[in-house]
Structure 1
Amino acid sequence: MGARAIIAGDGALPGLLAAAGPALIVRLEGMPGGTDGADIVARLERLGALFSDLQGAGVTEVCFAGAMRRVAVEAEALDAVTRDLLPRLTKAMGQGDDALLRDIVAIFEGQGFTIRGAHELRPDLVAPEGAIAGIPRPEGDAARARGVLAALGPLDVGQAAVAAGGQMLGIETLQGTDAMLRFVGRTAPGSGGVLVKRAKPGQDLRVDMPVIGPDTVLLAADAGLSGIEVQAGHVLLVDPDAVCASCAARGLALWAVP
């Protein structure tokens, strides 16, 4: 069996995955989280060099973990491999994040790497079905948010939404779940609503599995929500014990449904 590499973005998830076994940490310049602690520092403009570094280190498995963002590409820094891939990647970017991630997976697989999902390395972090913390709230608001996400999923809009009293208070877009929760807190404080977080239909969980952590709980509480519903088997709980402790401290319920 070959070596494993974690292409690490921001947040605690890369470190939690590294604890699952030996892995090289790859950090991309310009991404959240910086480059501290990296075994390999890479640039998007030099994918050819990254592939060579990984293959030279005997890497056969790659896992993408942590928050990342699109960054500007410096044309003068492109190596030959990236220059050849750029039209393909540019086309995928114009089709949304899901299309871009699918293309990135295909490119890495084309180089001989097996893509492993965070849920495969740490199945203990995957939300189990049922009550996780507190008592699940009545179905109405969760069902409303769930239905909106199901309708918007094919449009590659987002993984999370908030509903209260049958009304939609927020829908996650490019800015992310945290920004949506802050918006809800400003515009509908004390609503007692429910945050729902689910994978988009057809989403490749190997590279973009939804995540909630203690910070999500704190932001949901600060926004005046009463509960969080996640999709069982399709959402990672970063540090489940801390998530449950945060829910208990803030009086939020957390549960998972199919």
Structure 2
Amino acid sequence: MTDRLAILACGGALPVLLAQAHPDALHYTLRGVPSELSGSAQEFALEKIGSLFAAMKEAGIGRMVFAGSLSRPALNPAKFDAEMTRIAPGLMAAIPQGDDALLRFVIATFEAQGLTVLGAHDLLPGLTVEQGLAVGPVPSEAELADTARAAHILSEISALDIGQGCAVAAGQCLGIETVQGTDALLAYVAQVAPELRRGQRGVYVKAPKAGQDLRIDMPTIGPSTIAAVADAGLAGLVVAANQVVIIDRDATLALAKERGIFLISQIFA
């Protein structure tokens, strides 16, 4: 293999940003997983993963990046090629253990083919939210306390591999991100009765799980996240420094300012 880069493109804007920054990269997609790069990519069925490996080898791919949100396409065992049949027992064992276990298995599978798996943040400098980034109102002492509470909750549930976000108001947990994702959580928080917030608006904290491999599924925010936080009636968004991707940075910061919420980044213990 050579050092050529491949983008395994899934949903969202991140694959497009990577393709623009690395115009010589080859694009691949998985059947059943929507991608903005589908028009320029070679598509492979997950059941035929051996064909994907062969195509990468023939193209001289030495490095690859998983980009975008990856849904879990349905698998038909009757269509498995020899390579998928070989790895299927390990894959099936990893799935019930949660996203981290599954993604670690996926990374290991590609590395076993001699590929170097990179994170999107390795290829796009400035992609993550740096420590101290701030926009919007200065958080109150109560909001800082809610931030600490939410970060503690996320730390405590990390081993359970549940999610990457938590909303807290007046010390009360309003919701935890689960398999439904950030939008579903914040839509739920928007419906929490005001009296349950005890006079506080609350905050949303987003951070990777402890020990999470950030090469796949790094937490991501963008304008839609800001809109959802504001619509949920929360005072602001706090993210883990250098461990959360920010899509469309200028628009994200501008919208936070416009909606009157804060966006800050800090290091969580």
Measured after TM superposition, the shift of residue 188 of structure 1 is 4.2
Measured after TM superposition, the shift of residue 38 of structure 1 is 3.7
Could you state the TM-score of these two structures normalised by the residue count of structure 2? 0.92
Amino acid at match of 2:158: G
Partner of 1:209: 218
Moved over 6 A (4+): none
Partner of 2:203: 194
Which of 65, 68, 73 is 1:66 aligned to?
Answer: 68
Residue correspondence of structure 1 range 32-43 to structure 2 within 5 A: 32-33=34-35, 36-43=38-45
Amino acid at match of 1:251: G
Are 1:251 and 2:242 counterparts?
no
Q: Is the 8 A contact 1:25 1:37 kept in 2?
A: no
Residue correspondence of structure 1 range 60-99 to structure 2 within 5 A: 60-99=62-101
Partner of 1:126: 128
For residues 180-235 of structure 1, give each alpha carbon's deviation from its aligned partner in whole angstroms, at most 9, with x where no partner exists: 11111123469621110001000000112111011000111111111000000111
What CA distance in whole angstroms lies between the structure 2 residues aligned with 1:118 and 1:241?
Answer: 19
What CA distance in whole angstroms lies between the structure 1 residues aligned with 2:37 and 2:88?
Answer: 24
Q: Is the 8 A contact 1:231 1:257 kept in 2?
A: yes
Q: Is the 8 A contact 2:15 2:37 kept in 1?
A: no
Residue correspondence of structure 1 range 81-230 to structure 2 within 5 A: 81-138=83-140, 139-188=144-193, 192-230=201-239
Q: Is the 8 A contact 2:46 2:75 kept in 1?
A: yes
SS in 1 for 2:133: strand
Measured after TM superposition, the shift of residue 34 of structure 1 is 7.1
Q: Which structure 2 segments of 5+ residues have no match?
A: none
For residues 91-112 of structure 1, give each alpha carbon's deviation from its aligned partner in whole angstroms, at most 9, with x where no partner exists: 0112111011001111100001
Are 1:56 and 2:51 counterparts?
no
Measured after TM superposition, the shift of residue 242 of structure 1 is 1.0
What CA distance in whole angstroms lies between the structure 1 residues aligned with 2:225 and 2:19?
Answer: 22
Q: Is the 8 A contact 2:33 2:71 kept in 1?
A: yes
What CA distance in whole angstroms lies between the structure 1 residues aligned with 2:34 and 2:186?
Answer: 20
Q: Which structure 1 segments of 5+ residues have no match?
A: none
SS in 2 for 1:207: coil
Corresponding residue pairs, total: 258
Are 1:236 and 2:245 counterparts?
yes
For residues 139-177 of structure 1, give each alpha carbon's deviation from its aligned partner in whole angstroms, at most 9, with x where no partner exists: 111111101000001110110010111111110001111
CA shift in 2, pair 1:184/1:155, >3 Å: same
Measured after TM superposition, the shift of residue 61 of structure 1 is 0.8
What CA distance in whole angstroms lies between the structure 1 residues aligned with 2:96 and 2:11?
Answer: 24
What CA distance in whole angstroms lies between the structure 2 residues aligned with 1:237 and 1:188?
Answer: 30
Q: Is the 8 A contact 1:98 1:156 kept in 2?
A: yes
Could you state the TM-score of these two structures normalised by the residue count of structure 1? 0.96
What CA distance in whole angstroms lies between the structure 2 residues aligned with 1:68 and 1:188?
Answer: 33
Measured after TM superposition, the shift of residue 254 of structure 1 is 0.3
CA RMSD, 1 decimal: 1.5
Amino acid at match of 1:216: T
Mean Cα deviation higher: 39-48 or 135-144: 135-144
Q: Is the 8 A contact 1:136 1:255 kept in 2?
A: no
What CA distance in whole angstroms lies between the structure 2 residues aligned with 1:9 and 1:242?
Answer: 22
